[in-house]
Structure 1
Amino acid sequence: MSAVTGRVRAARHVAGRISLTPLLVRVGVFLLALAGLLLAYPAQVFTGQTVLALAAVALLPAVAPRRVWPTFAALVTVGGWLLATDGYGRSVALWRLFAVAALLYLTHTLCALSAMLPYDAVVDPDLMLRWLIRAAGVLLATCVLGVLLVGLADLGSGQGLQAATLAGLLVAAVVTALLAWLLRRQ
Protein backbone atom coordinates (compact mmCIF):
# COMPACT_ATOMS: atom_id res chain seq x y z
CA MET A 1 0.00 0.00 0.00
CA SER A 2 2.86 2.44 0.63
CA ALA A 3 3.98 2.34 -3.03
CA VAL A 4 0.47 3.22 -4.22
CA THR A 5 0.16 5.95 -1.60
CA GLY A 6 3.51 7.37 -2.70
CA ARG A 7 2.40 7.48 -6.33
CA VAL A 8 -0.86 9.20 -5.41
CA ARG A 9 1.06 11.81 -3.41
CA ALA A 10 3.46 12.36 -6.30
CA ALA A 11 0.54 12.77 -8.74
CA ARG A 12 -1.09 15.30 -6.41
CA HIS A 13 2.17 17.20 -6.10
CA VAL A 14 2.58 17.35 -9.90
CA ALA A 15 -1.05 18.36 -10.44
CA GLY A 16 -0.68 21.19 -7.94
CA ARG A 17 2.42 22.60 -9.62
CA ILE A 18 1.60 22.22 -13.32
CA SER A 19 1.81 25.40 -15.38
CA LEU A 20 -0.23 26.35 -18.43
CA THR A 21 2.25 25.80 -21.28
CA PRO A 22 3.27 22.21 -20.45
CA LEU A 23 -0.41 21.40 -19.92
CA LEU A 24 -1.36 22.89 -23.30
CA VAL A 25 1.44 20.98 -25.03
CA ARG A 26 0.18 17.72 -23.54
CA VAL A 27 -3.40 18.55 -24.52
CA GLY A 28 -2.06 19.20 -28.03
CA VAL A 29 -0.37 15.78 -28.03
CA PHE A 30 -3.66 14.14 -27.07
CA LEU A 31 -5.73 16.02 -29.66
CA LEU A 32 -3.26 15.47 -32.50
CA ALA A 33 -2.85 11.77 -31.71
CA LEU A 34 -6.63 11.32 -31.50
CA ALA A 35 -7.18 13.17 -34.78
CA GLY A 36 -4.57 10.98 -36.48
CA LEU A 37 -6.19 7.82 -35.14
CA LEU A 38 -9.68 8.89 -36.18
CA LEU A 39 -8.50 9.85 -39.64
CA ALA A 40 -6.52 6.65 -40.18
CA TYR A 41 -9.15 4.12 -39.12
CA PRO A 42 -12.07 3.22 -41.38
CA ALA A 43 -15.47 4.60 -40.37
CA GLN A 44 -16.92 1.08 -40.33
CA VAL A 45 -15.06 0.14 -37.14
CA PHE A 46 -16.18 3.11 -35.05
CA THR A 47 -18.32 2.10 -32.11
CA GLY A 48 -18.42 3.57 -28.65
CA GLN A 49 -15.86 1.07 -27.40
CA THR A 50 -13.53 1.61 -30.35
CA VAL A 51 -13.55 5.38 -29.97
CA LEU A 52 -12.94 5.01 -26.23
CA ALA A 53 -10.00 2.67 -26.90
CA LEU A 54 -8.55 5.08 -29.46
CA ALA A 55 -8.95 7.94 -26.99
CA ALA A 56 -7.04 5.89 -24.41
CA VAL A 57 -4.28 5.23 -26.95
CA ALA A 58 -4.10 8.98 -27.68
CA LEU A 59 -4.00 9.81 -23.97
CA LEU A 60 -1.00 7.59 -23.22
CA PRO A 61 1.65 9.69 -25.04
CA ALA A 62 0.21 12.87 -23.52
CA VAL A 63 0.58 11.47 -20.02
CA ALA A 64 3.94 9.72 -20.49
CA PRO A 65 5.81 11.19 -23.49
CA ARG A 66 9.19 9.86 -22.33
CA ARG A 67 8.08 6.25 -22.42
CA VAL A 68 7.15 3.90 -25.26
CA TRP A 69 3.64 5.35 -25.65
CA PRO A 70 4.33 7.82 -28.49
CA THR A 71 5.71 4.94 -30.57
CA PHE A 72 2.78 2.76 -29.57
CA ALA A 73 0.27 5.42 -30.63
CA ALA A 74 2.07 5.88 -33.97
CA LEU A 75 2.04 2.12 -34.60
CA VAL A 76 -1.67 1.92 -33.76
CA THR A 77 -2.30 4.79 -36.19
CA VAL A 78 -0.35 3.07 -38.96
CA GLY A 79 -2.20 -0.16 -38.17
CA GLY A 80 -5.49 1.69 -38.62
CA TRP A 81 -4.28 3.05 -41.95
CA LEU A 82 -3.33 -0.45 -43.11
CA LEU A 83 -6.65 -1.83 -41.87
CA ALA A 84 -8.55 0.85 -43.79
CA THR A 85 -6.63 0.43 -47.05
CA ASP A 86 -6.00 -3.32 -47.09
CA GLY A 87 -8.77 -4.68 -44.89
CA TYR A 88 -11.64 -2.43 -45.94
CA GLY A 89 -10.44 -1.52 -49.42
CA ARG A 90 -10.41 2.25 -48.90
CA SER A 91 -8.54 3.90 -51.76
CA VAL A 92 -5.43 5.85 -50.90
CA ALA A 93 -6.35 9.52 -51.11
CA LEU A 94 -3.37 11.82 -51.20
CA TRP A 95 -4.97 14.37 -48.85
CA ARG A 96 -5.69 11.69 -46.24
CA LEU A 97 -2.19 10.25 -46.53
CA PHE A 98 -0.61 13.68 -46.04
CA ALA A 99 -2.99 14.53 -43.20
CA VAL A 100 -2.24 11.32 -41.29
CA ALA A 101 1.50 11.77 -41.87
CA ALA A 102 1.33 15.40 -40.73
CA LEU A 103 -0.61 14.46 -37.59
CA LEU A 104 1.90 11.70 -36.82
CA TYR A 105 4.78 14.16 -37.19
CA LEU A 106 3.12 16.87 -35.12
CA THR A 107 2.28 14.35 -32.39
CA HIS A 108 5.88 13.15 -32.41
CA THR A 109 7.39 16.63 -32.25
CA LEU A 110 5.02 17.78 -29.48
CA CYS A 111 5.82 14.60 -27.54
CA ALA A 112 9.50 15.48 -27.80
CA LEU A 113 8.77 19.00 -26.56
CA SER A 114 6.57 17.82 -23.70
CA ALA A 115 9.17 15.25 -22.68
CA MET A 116 11.67 18.07 -22.22
CA LEU A 117 9.34 20.47 -20.40
CA PRO A 118 9.01 20.05 -16.66
CA TYR A 119 5.42 20.25 -15.43
CA ASP A 120 6.04 23.55 -13.70
CA ALA A 121 8.09 25.20 -16.47
CA VAL A 122 7.58 28.83 -17.34
CA VAL A 123 8.05 28.93 -21.10
CA ASP A 124 8.79 31.93 -23.27
CA PRO A 125 6.09 32.23 -25.97
CA ASP A 126 8.84 32.76 -28.57
CA LEU A 127 10.10 29.24 -27.90
CA MET A 128 6.68 27.81 -28.70
CA LEU A 129 6.37 29.98 -31.80
CA ARG A 130 9.82 28.93 -33.11
CA TRP A 131 9.00 25.27 -32.41
CA LEU A 132 5.73 25.45 -34.31
CA ILE A 133 7.25 27.42 -37.22
CA ARG A 134 9.98 24.80 -37.57
CA ALA A 135 7.38 22.03 -37.54
CA ALA A 136 5.33 23.87 -40.17
CA GLY A 137 8.43 24.23 -42.34
CA VAL A 138 9.15 20.52 -42.11
CA LEU A 139 5.54 19.71 -43.01
CA LEU A 140 5.55 22.08 -45.98
CA ALA A 141 8.81 20.68 -47.34
CA THR A 142 7.57 17.13 -46.83
CA CYS A 143 4.29 17.77 -48.61
CA VAL A 144 6.02 19.43 -51.56
CA LEU A 145 8.53 16.59 -51.85
CA GLY A 146 5.77 14.01 -51.45
CA VAL A 147 3.65 15.54 -54.21
CA LEU A 148 6.68 15.70 -56.50
CA LEU A 149 7.61 12.08 -55.80
CA VAL A 150 4.08 10.82 -56.34
CA GLY A 151 3.78 12.89 -59.52
CA LEU A 152 7.08 11.56 -60.88
CA ALA A 153 6.23 8.01 -59.90
CA ASP A 154 2.84 8.17 -61.64
CA LEU A 155 4.53 9.11 -64.90
CA GLY A 156 6.43 5.82 -65.06
CA SER A 157 3.93 3.07 -64.32
CA GLY A 158 0.87 2.04 -62.38
CA GLN A 159 3.00 1.29 -59.32
CA GLY A 160 3.32 5.01 -58.50
CA LEU A 161 2.68 4.91 -54.77
CA GLN A 162 5.06 2.00 -54.23
CA ALA A 163 7.80 3.82 -56.12
CA ALA A 164 7.09 7.01 -54.16
CA THR A 165 7.27 5.05 -50.91
CA LEU A 166 10.62 3.55 -51.84
CA ALA A 167 11.92 6.95 -52.94
CA GLY A 168 10.73 8.46 -49.66
CA LEU A 169 12.46 5.73 -47.66
CA LEU A 170 15.65 6.34 -49.63
CA VAL A 171 15.48 10.08 -48.93
CA ALA A 172 14.82 9.39 -45.22
CA ALA A 173 17.80 7.01 -45.04
CA VAL A 174 20.11 9.50 -46.77
CA VAL A 175 18.99 12.37 -44.51
CA THR A 176 19.44 10.18 -41.41
CA ALA A 177 22.94 9.16 -42.51
CA LEU A 178 23.81 12.78 -43.26
CA LEU A 179 22.59 13.94 -39.84
CA ALA A 180 24.48 11.13 -38.09
CA TRP A 181 27.64 12.08 -39.98
CA LEU A 182 27.19 15.74 -39.04
CA LEU A 183 26.69 14.88 -35.37
CA ARG A 184 29.80 12.69 -35.30
CA ARG A 185 31.79 15.46 -36.95
CA GLN A 186 31.02 17.85 -34.11
Structure 2
Amino acid sequence: MNTVVERVRAAQYAIARVSVAPLLVRAAIFVIVLAGFALAFPSEVLSGRPILFLAVAALLPAIGPRRIWATFTALVTVGGWLLATDGYGRPVALWRLLAVAALLYLAHTLCALAALLPYDAAVDPDLISRWLVRSGAVLLGAAVLGVLLLQAAGTGGGAGHQWVTVLGLLVAVAMAALLGWLLRRR
Protein backbone atom coordinates (compact mmCIF):
# COMPACT_ATOMS: atom_id res chain seq x y z
CA MET A 1 0.00 0.00 0.00
CA ASN A 2 2.85 2.34 0.78
CA THR A 3 4.30 1.97 -2.74
CA VAL A 4 0.99 3.02 -4.32
CA VAL A 5 0.93 6.21 -2.24
CA GLU A 6 4.56 6.89 -3.12
CA ARG A 7 3.84 6.41 -6.83
CA VAL A 8 0.87 8.75 -6.69
CA ARG A 9 2.99 11.41 -4.95
CA ALA A 10 5.78 10.92 -7.49
CA ALA A 11 3.28 11.34 -10.34
CA GLN A 12 1.86 14.50 -8.75
CA TYR A 13 5.37 15.88 -8.34
CA ALA A 14 6.22 15.07 -11.96
CA ILE A 15 3.03 16.71 -13.24
CA ALA A 16 3.74 19.83 -11.19
CA ARG A 17 7.19 20.12 -12.81
CA VAL A 18 5.96 19.99 -16.42
CA SER A 19 7.02 23.07 -18.36
CA VAL A 20 5.20 24.79 -21.19
CA ALA A 21 7.68 24.46 -24.08
CA PRO A 22 7.78 20.64 -24.25
CA LEU A 23 3.98 20.56 -24.05
CA LEU A 24 3.69 23.09 -26.89
CA VAL A 25 6.04 21.02 -29.06
CA ARG A 26 3.94 17.91 -28.40
CA ALA A 27 0.72 19.81 -29.10
CA ALA A 28 2.22 20.99 -32.40
CA ILE A 29 3.01 17.37 -33.28
CA PHE A 30 -0.62 16.43 -32.70
CA VAL A 31 -1.97 19.32 -34.79
CA ILE A 32 0.50 18.76 -37.65
CA VAL A 33 -0.13 15.01 -37.85
CA LEU A 34 -3.89 15.58 -37.77
CA ALA A 35 -3.59 18.23 -40.51
CA GLY A 36 -1.55 15.77 -42.58
CA PHE A 37 -4.31 13.20 -42.19
CA ALA A 38 -6.91 15.77 -43.22
CA LEU A 39 -5.00 16.66 -46.38
CA ALA A 40 -4.07 13.12 -47.33
CA PHE A 41 -7.31 11.25 -46.74
CA PRO A 42 -10.37 11.73 -48.96
CA SER A 43 -13.11 13.86 -47.45
CA GLU A 44 -15.56 10.95 -47.64
CA VAL A 45 -13.47 9.03 -45.10
CA LEU A 46 -13.11 11.95 -42.69
CA SER A 47 -16.52 11.71 -41.10
CA GLY A 48 -17.80 9.70 -38.18
CA ARG A 49 -15.63 7.07 -36.54
CA PRO A 50 -12.59 7.23 -38.84
CA ILE A 51 -11.81 10.80 -37.74
CA LEU A 52 -11.83 9.62 -34.12
CA PHE A 53 -9.36 6.84 -34.94
CA LEU A 54 -7.17 9.31 -36.85
CA ALA A 55 -7.25 11.73 -33.90
CA VAL A 56 -6.10 8.97 -31.57
CA ALA A 57 -3.39 8.01 -34.07
CA ALA A 58 -2.27 11.66 -34.22
CA LEU A 59 -2.04 11.73 -30.43
CA LEU A 60 0.32 8.73 -30.27
CA PRO A 61 3.50 10.42 -31.62
CA ALA A 62 2.82 13.43 -29.39
CA ILE A 63 2.78 11.18 -26.34
CA GLY A 64 5.63 8.88 -27.37
CA PRO A 65 7.90 10.66 -29.87
CA ARG A 66 10.76 8.20 -29.26
CA ARG A 67 8.64 5.21 -30.18
CA ILE A 68 7.50 3.89 -33.53
CA TRP A 69 4.41 6.14 -33.61
CA ALA A 70 5.96 8.83 -35.81
CA THR A 71 6.74 6.23 -38.47
CA PHE A 72 3.30 4.67 -38.03
CA THR A 73 1.50 7.97 -38.60
CA ALA A 74 3.69 8.76 -41.62
CA LEU A 75 2.72 5.41 -43.14
CA VAL A 76 -0.96 6.05 -42.34
CA THR A 77 -0.70 9.45 -44.04
CA VAL A 78 0.86 7.95 -47.16
CA GLY A 79 -1.77 5.20 -47.10
CA GLY A 80 -4.48 7.88 -46.96
CA TRP A 81 -2.85 9.65 -49.90
CA LEU A 82 -2.83 6.43 -51.93
CA LEU A 83 -6.44 5.71 -50.93
CA ALA A 84 -7.51 9.18 -52.05
CA THR A 85 -5.73 9.02 -55.40
CA ASP A 86 -6.38 5.36 -56.28
CA GLY A 87 -9.52 4.45 -54.38
CA TYR A 88 -11.45 7.69 -54.76
CA GLY A 89 -9.85 9.00 -57.93
CA ARG A 90 -8.81 12.35 -56.50
CA PRO A 91 -6.47 14.07 -58.95
CA VAL A 92 -2.95 14.72 -57.74
CA ALA A 93 -2.56 18.42 -57.07
CA LEU A 94 0.95 19.73 -56.64
CA TRP A 95 -0.01 22.04 -53.76
CA ARG A 96 -1.58 19.14 -51.84
CA LEU A 97 1.41 16.91 -52.51
CA LEU A 98 3.84 19.57 -51.27
CA ALA A 99 1.67 20.33 -48.24
CA VAL A 100 1.43 16.66 -47.21
CA ALA A 101 5.19 16.25 -47.68
CA ALA A 102 5.85 19.38 -45.62
CA LEU A 103 3.55 18.20 -42.83
CA LEU A 104 5.23 14.78 -42.81
CA TYR A 105 8.64 16.43 -42.48
CA LEU A 106 7.48 18.85 -39.78
CA ALA A 107 5.92 16.02 -37.77
CA HIS A 108 9.12 14.02 -38.08
CA THR A 109 11.43 16.85 -37.06
CA LEU A 110 9.20 17.94 -34.17
CA CYS A 111 9.12 14.35 -32.92
CA ALA A 112 12.91 14.43 -32.96
CA LEU A 113 12.88 17.65 -30.94
CA ALA A 114 10.28 16.33 -28.50
CA ALA A 115 12.30 13.16 -28.01
CA LEU A 116 15.19 15.31 -26.78
CA LEU A 117 13.11 17.49 -24.46
CA PRO A 118 12.13 16.08 -21.09
CA TYR A 119 8.75 17.24 -19.83
CA ASP A 120 10.32 19.43 -17.18
CA ALA A 121 12.96 21.04 -19.42
CA ALA A 122 13.57 24.75 -19.18
CA VAL A 123 13.80 25.61 -22.87
CA ASP A 124 15.04 28.83 -24.36
CA PRO A 125 12.48 29.98 -26.95
CA ASP A 126 15.36 30.66 -29.36
CA LEU A 127 16.06 26.93 -29.49
CA ILE A 128 12.58 26.15 -30.79
CA SER A 129 12.53 29.12 -33.17
CA ARG A 130 15.94 28.18 -34.63
CA TRP A 131 14.75 24.59 -35.01
CA LEU A 132 11.65 25.75 -36.89
CA VAL A 133 13.57 28.22 -39.07
CA ARG A 134 16.00 25.48 -40.04
CA SER A 135 13.09 23.17 -40.80
CA GLY A 136 11.45 25.89 -42.89
CA ALA A 137 14.64 26.34 -44.91
CA VAL A 138 14.76 22.59 -45.58
CA LEU A 139 11.11 22.62 -46.63
CA LEU A 140 11.58 25.57 -48.95
CA GLY A 141 14.64 24.03 -50.57
CA ALA A 142 12.94 20.66 -50.97
CA ALA A 143 9.81 22.22 -52.47
CA VAL A 144 11.76 24.27 -55.00
CA LEU A 145 13.95 21.31 -55.93
CA GLY A 146 10.96 18.98 -56.11
CA VAL A 147 9.02 21.25 -58.45
CA LEU A 148 12.07 21.75 -60.65
CA LEU A 149 12.71 18.00 -60.83
CA LEU A 150 9.05 17.27 -61.63
CA GLN A 151 9.16 19.81 -64.44
CA ALA A 152 12.46 18.46 -65.75
CA ALA A 153 11.30 14.83 -65.62
CA GLY A 154 7.99 15.66 -67.26
CA THR A 155 5.99 13.42 -64.93
CA GLY A 156 2.98 15.68 -65.02
CA GLY A 157 0.43 12.87 -65.29
CA GLY A 158 -1.18 11.03 -62.41
CA ALA A 159 0.73 7.82 -63.17
CA GLY A 160 4.04 9.64 -62.80
CA HIS A 161 3.08 10.95 -59.37
CA GLN A 162 1.77 7.52 -58.39
CA TRP A 163 5.00 5.62 -59.03
CA VAL A 164 7.03 8.39 -57.40
CA THR A 165 4.81 8.11 -54.29
CA VAL A 166 5.16 4.34 -54.11
CA LEU A 167 8.91 4.53 -54.73
CA GLY A 168 9.29 7.18 -52.02
CA LEU A 169 7.31 5.04 -49.59
CA LEU A 170 9.54 2.03 -50.33
CA VAL A 171 12.69 4.10 -49.81
CA ALA A 172 11.33 5.48 -46.52
CA VAL A 173 10.47 2.00 -45.22
CA ALA A 174 13.87 0.66 -46.32
CA MET A 175 15.68 3.53 -44.58
CA ALA A 176 13.68 3.00 -41.38
CA ALA A 177 14.51 -0.71 -41.46
CA LEU A 178 18.19 0.03 -42.08
CA LEU A 179 18.37 2.55 -39.24
CA GLY A 180 16.57 0.15 -36.91
CA TRP A 181 19.00 -2.61 -37.81
CA LEU A 182 22.00 -0.32 -37.26
CA LEU A 183 20.68 0.78 -33.86
CA ARG A 184 20.08 -2.81 -32.72
CA ARG A 185 23.54 -3.82 -33.95
CA ARG A 186 25.17 -1.11 -31.86
**Residues in 1 aligned to 2:137 and 2:2: alpha-carbon distance in whole angstroms:** 48
SS of 1:44's partner is coil
Over the matched positions of the two proteins, sequence identity in percent amounts to 63
Contact 2:30 2:58 in 1 (8 A): yes
String of CA shifts for 1:45-70, please: whole Å, max 9, x gaps.
12221111110000000001011111
- Deviation at residue 128 of structure 1 after TM alignment: 1.0
**Residues in 1 aligned to 2:72 and 2:3: alpha-carbon distance in whole angstroms:** 27
**Residues in 1 aligned to 2:117 and 2:5: alpha-carbon distance in whole angstroms:** 25
Q: How does 1:95-114 map to 2 (within 5 A)?
A: 95-114=95-114
State the match for 2:138 in structure 1: 138
CA 1:93–1:4 in 2, change beyond 3 Å: closer, same or farther?
A: farther
Contact 2:22 2:121 in 1 (8 A): yes
**Residues in 2 aligned to 1:2 and 1:79: alpha-carbon distance in whole angstroms:** 48
Contact 2:21 2:123 in 1 (8 A): yes
Paired AA for residue 66 in structure 2: R
CA-based RMSD: 2.9
String of CA shifts for 1:19-69, please: whole Å, max 9, x gaps.
010010000000000000111000011222111111000000000101111
Give the number of equivalent residue pairs: 171
* TM-score calculated relative to the size of structure 2: 0.80
Higher relative contact order (CA 8 A, sep 6+): 2
Unaligned 5+ runs, structure 2: 173-186
State the match for 1:20 in structure 2: 20
SS of 2:119's partner is coil
State the match for 2:39 in structure 1: 39
**Residues in 2 aligned to 1:156 and 1:149: alpha-carbon distance in whole angstroms:** 11
State the match for 2:89 in structure 1: 89
CA 1:12–1:40 in 2, change beyond 3 Å: closer, same or farther?
A: farther
1:49 aligns with 2:53: no
